[in-house]
């Protein structure tokens, strides 16, 4: 039985929830999970519903039939087949912890994605990627060729059919033009020291200051460097007894986990842009289950 998700964003109006549930019931659909949020500050309403079609309705039929309801409430709404994996392209530089973590989660089915390509400005992970039967593209980036390099990257993204671009510790600053073109479909990861410890060796800077917590932030990419709408964050406590190298190792672990959770939220359509912030609904039951457990 097909499992679908309906995502909705609109101005908050009376009757919107009733209209959605009434439509699904009339189509012979059974709601398995539902989450909603009414933003009192902006007046925006967000909703995500997962359901099955007891009558075997196809997604195109459900989408077409919902047009009148969407029009009446001026909704941004769409139906998604939960069994169709989102196409993801990964960009990486010389730090491979996030890439390796994503590949492992993808391989065991913990991240229900289709990795269509990996782009890097170095060759360090070419063999690893190719051994996973994933296309690898080396695109060297310098100050002199940045415009041409980004044009090549965008061409690869388009030709691969990627619906999401993941910057898995890709250590090149994207231009404003590229950020704009990837708006809402590119995710980045970085340590959570910003703006306290900028530049090179942030973990060593944190160690020198004796911080007691380190963390990571994953967010949507915008022209404002490392200031896009936040999807996921987490922290780990550290103590005076740990070294700067410990900070780096712990930081890599938390970065990998936070990025994976952000990808999970996006590919399950749980993350909604809400101005400079996001609305991120809890995961539906069984959505964290892996195809290969144990």
* Distance (Å) of CA 191 to CA 110, 188, 258: 23, 11, 10
Question: CA 107 to CA 177: how far, in whole Å?
Answer: 33
In this structure, what DSSP letter does residue 286 have?
T
Q: Which two tokens stand for residue 17?
A: 């929830």
Q: Of the listed 114, 226, 234, 253, which one is catalytic?
A: 226
Is 90 strand, coil or helix? strand
Question: CA 132 to CA 220: how far, in whole Å?
Answer: 27
| Residue whose tokens read 């310098």 | 142
Question: CA 49 to CA 34: how far, in whole Å?
Answer: 4
Backbone angles phi, psi at 144, to 5 degrees: -75, -30
Contact 278, 230 (CB under 8 A): yes
Give catalytic status of residue 226 as yes or no.
Answer: yes
Catalytic residues: 226
């Amino acid at each position: 039985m097909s499992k679908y998700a309906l995502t909705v964003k609109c101005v908050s109006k009376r009757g919107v929830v009733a209209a959605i549930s009434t439509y699904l019931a009339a189509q012979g659909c059974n709601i398995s999970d539902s989450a909603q949020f009414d933003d009192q500050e902006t007046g925006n309403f967000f909703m995500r519903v997962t359901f099955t079609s007891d009558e075997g309705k196809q997604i195109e039929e459900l989408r077409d039939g919902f047009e009148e309801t969407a029009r009446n409430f001026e909704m941004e709404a769409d139906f998604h087949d939960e069994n169709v994996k989102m196409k993801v392209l990964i960009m990486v530089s010389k730090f491979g912890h996030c890439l390796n973590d994503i590949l492992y989660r993808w391989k065991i089915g913990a991240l229900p994605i289709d990795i269509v390509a990996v782009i890097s400005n170095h060759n360090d992970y070419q063999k690893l990627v190719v051994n996973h039967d994933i296309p690898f593209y080396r695109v060297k980036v310098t100050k002199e060729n940045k415009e041409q390099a980004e044009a090549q990257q965008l061409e690869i993204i388009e030709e691969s059919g990627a619906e999401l671009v993941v910057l898995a510790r890709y250590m090149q600053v994207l231009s404003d033009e590229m950020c704009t073109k990837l708006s809402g479909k590119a995710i980045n990861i970085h340590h959570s020291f910003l703006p306290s410890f900028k530049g090179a060796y942030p973990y060593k800077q944190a160690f020198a200051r004796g911080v007691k917590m380190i963390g990571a932030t994953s967010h949507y990419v915008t022209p404002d460097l490392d200031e896009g709408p936040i999807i996921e964050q987490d922290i780990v406590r550290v103590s005076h007894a740990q070294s700067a190298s410990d900070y780096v190792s712990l930081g890599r672990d938390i970065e990998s986990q936070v990025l994976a959770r952000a990808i999970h939220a996006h590919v399950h359509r749980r993350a909604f842009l809400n101005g400079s912030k996001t609305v991120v609904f809890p995961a539906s039951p069984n959505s964290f289950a892996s195809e290969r457990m144990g």
